[in-house]
Structure 1
Amino acid sequence: MFTASPAAIASPPAPSAEKDAQAPVTLSIVTWNSADSIEACLLSVLAQTHRNFELWVVDNASADDTCAIVASLAETDKRIKLHRLDTNTGFCGGHNYTLNRTSSEAVLLVNPDTDLAPDYLERALAALQKDERIGVVCGLLLQSPEEDARIDSAGMQALPDGRFALRLHGVRQSQAGPLAPRYVDGADGALPLYRRRFIDDLRVEGEFFDPRFFAHKEDWDVAWRGKLLGWRTLFEPACRAIHPRQFQPTNLRVRLRMSRKVRANAVRNQWIMLIKNTPRKQVWQMVTRALPRQLAILAYMLVAERTSLSALRYVWQHRKEILISRQLIQSRAREGWAPVAAAG
């Protein structure tokens, strides 16, 4: 359960609402050998003040006790639905499984290593209603429950070279100062609330998350596509949760402990994203900004991480499919903001 210190969770009173009248929402959790964290995560979800939801747990062929833990809790709460997959489809495949089989007006993605404050979902849903162009709401994620905890993320900001950075990552709350709701460039993938119209508007060949990504940088891709289509992402600091950051590919020490596949995916996904999402009028500007870093990455792979060169081979072999995705994205982006539901 959420156990952050009073200083960490202090926030305005939760919005009042008649619980029985609240609109249903879907929560999606993708697990893979998550036995060490999934029970605490599920308990924090079940303690939410907004109670009218369904919880899909999509398990990517875990080899540990993850499914047993989820199944045990599912016996005590019918809102939990466990879906066991025969193969590991990754973060993207797992969440696409949920998104393609549900129709609720909002979907909250929940990393299995997050611990939500009881009012996270209620506050996020209230924030989503502030503007019909808000497609995503993200909260303040803290790295630990300690007094004056470091911030894990406060949304994301776009960088000139096609990357995204976590806002205020690693900064103490006392150093960050008072935080207020504001529009940001994107939401970290650990705990975003998506509007269904946003999900459907961003679909490319039927899928919200690009299944080629498997995992890593998929939140960058969604943030970039959302901006291209005119949607807004709202950071609401009253929504709070704990999320100890695990994946840090730019940290060389951490990177060397990752599997070869994960390291190659991180490189491959960046290149796919640059090809798909850069508008034609910004291509040369993006090339001048992104090329120095990408050449440095290529040189590093040639010298010290040759297994990640498979990323280059993959992009070349799948170039036609990637270019088709680019054509679809850029064609939709030229139309401007026009939610699917409104257009239909």
Structure 2
Amino acid sequence: MVETYIITPDYNGITFLEKYFSSLFSQTYQDFKIVFVDNSQTMASFEFIEKNYEDKLDNKIVYIKNPKNYGFAKATNRGIKKALEDSECQYIICLNNDIYAEPEFLEELIICAEKNPEAGSIQSKMIWGQHPELIDSVGIEYSKNGLGFNRGAYEPVEKYSVEEKILGCCAGACLYKRKALKDIEYNNEYFDEDFFAYYEDIDIALRLQSTGWKSVYCPNSVVYHYRGGTGGTLSSFNVYHSGRNYTYTLLKNMPPVTLLKNIHWAITAEFAQILINILRKKPVILKAKFDAYRNLFKMMEKRKNIKKINRKIENLFVLKWRPKFPKFD
């Protein structure tokens, strides 16, 4: 029986796996299992694991192969369900495959979780791997206009050195408590599988807060995130899912009074997304918004099933329109 499970979805991530696995098997805390959920169309990731960690298959690495790319949300849910089959499992760690973790990453997360019983999620300090002088994420922010942001993105790495309460976690490197996930489970899902990818961690953060769970940032738990690109070039996939899921999140989670007070900002944000992406020659944004409102009643049904214990959630919202972008010499 194992107390902590690490859930990692993979999609053609073979180039990252050497750093990922070596950092996890060098942790100061070793009472964990990895549930590796493979969305790839090839067996390259499994072949890497089999070649390098055959002795750890099953006893330390649980490998799940999906028949197609299920996206982040569904793949992660498959991993979570597998982990929760173990009655001893108390902590679920969501961890991207393009992560290199410092040796105390897990130990510090768990220490923080244990000393904050009211917290349903704990956020690691995510540093941009290609530019380690900059932060990648230290949690998430949700704006009164419905836009979501990575907290601290592109700011100097020396900042955010104090443990503190935050709105919620970036699911690239964070801990969720078993009890918290069970509290927000809906239709046998934890992450909303209708999202596929993008905004799903903002959605789960808002649901946790609404249900009364807090979130805490743990600066001593450090990872390096070797993500691709700088975020400047958006693919049609990114534009579609971000644009659609922005609206899904707004419909599901924005408290009614907050929405009424800020409806002008939300409408502005909706139209701005359409205009900006049309100018970028990304007409897929129109399909994104059509699909979002086509599923209006489905989202409203999900909204009705969110517990509303914390009615002051809007106090955690900011008003923000665009992320900071890095400046390089």
> What's the TM-score, normalizing by structure 2?
0.86
Q: CA deviation at 1:107?
A: 0.5
| Aligned amino acid, residue 55 of structure 1 | I
Q: Contact 1:163 / 1:220 at 8 angstroms: preserved in 2?
A: no
Q: Distance in 2 between matches of 1:302 and 1:149?
A: 34
Gaps of 5+ in 1: 1-21, 338-344
Matched, 1:198 2:173: no
Q: Within 2, Cα distance between the matches of 1:215 and 1:322?
A: 16
Once the two structures are superposed, what CA deviation does each residue of 1:53-96 show, in whole Å capped at 9, x if it has no partner?
11110001333622211222341323011111111101101100
Counterpart in the other structure of 2:327 = none
Partner of 1:33: 12
- State the shift of 1:30 in Å: 0.4
Counterpart check, 1:270 vs 2:255: no
Equivalent in the alignment of 2:133: 149
- For 2:227 and 2:82, the matched residues in 1 are separated by 29
**Matched-pair contact (CA < 8 Å) for 2:98–2:227:** no
CA contact (8 A) 1:48 1:119 kept: yes
Code of the aligned partner of 1:224:
L
Out of 282, 295, 304, which is 2:258 matched to? 282
Q: Distance in 2 between matches of 1:265 and 1:132?
A: 34
3-state SS, counterpart of residue 322 of structure 1: helix
Higher mean alpha-carbon deviation, 22-31 vs 121-130, is at: 22-31
Distance 2:50 2:311 in 1: 44
CA RMSD of the aligned region, Å? 2.2
CA distance, structure 2, for counterparts of residue 302 and residue 145 of structure 1? 31
Q: Name which of 265, 282, 285 aligns with 1:305.
A: 282
Stretches of structure 2 that go unaligned for 5 or more consecutive residues are 313-329
The 8 Å contact of residues 161 and 290 in structure 1, kept in 2 or not, is answered as: yes
CA contact (8 A) 2:184 2:190 kept: yes
Q: Percent of aligned pairs with the same residue?
A: 20
Question: SS at the partner of 1:230?
Answer: coil
Per-residue CA distance 1:150-203 (angstroms, 9 max, x = gap): 1112222332222232222112234x2x71111111111110111001111122
Hey, what's the Cα distance between the residues in 1 that align with 2:62 and 2:202?
28
* Map of 1:214 onto structure 2: 196
Farther-moved stretch of structure 1 (130-139 vs 296-305):
296-305
Alignment of 1:17-166 (within 5 A): 24-63=3-42, 65-77=44-56, 78-103=59-84, 104-144=89-129, 149-166=133-150
Cα distance in 1 for partners of 2:218, 2:154 equals 18
Contact 2:165/2:215 (8 A) holds in 1: yes
Q: TM-score, normalised by structure 1?
A: 0.82
Between stretches 48-57 and 159-168, larger displacement belongs to 159-168
Deviations along 1:212-258, one digit per CA (max 9) or x if unpaired, are: 1111111111111122122111111110110134476xx5x411xx2
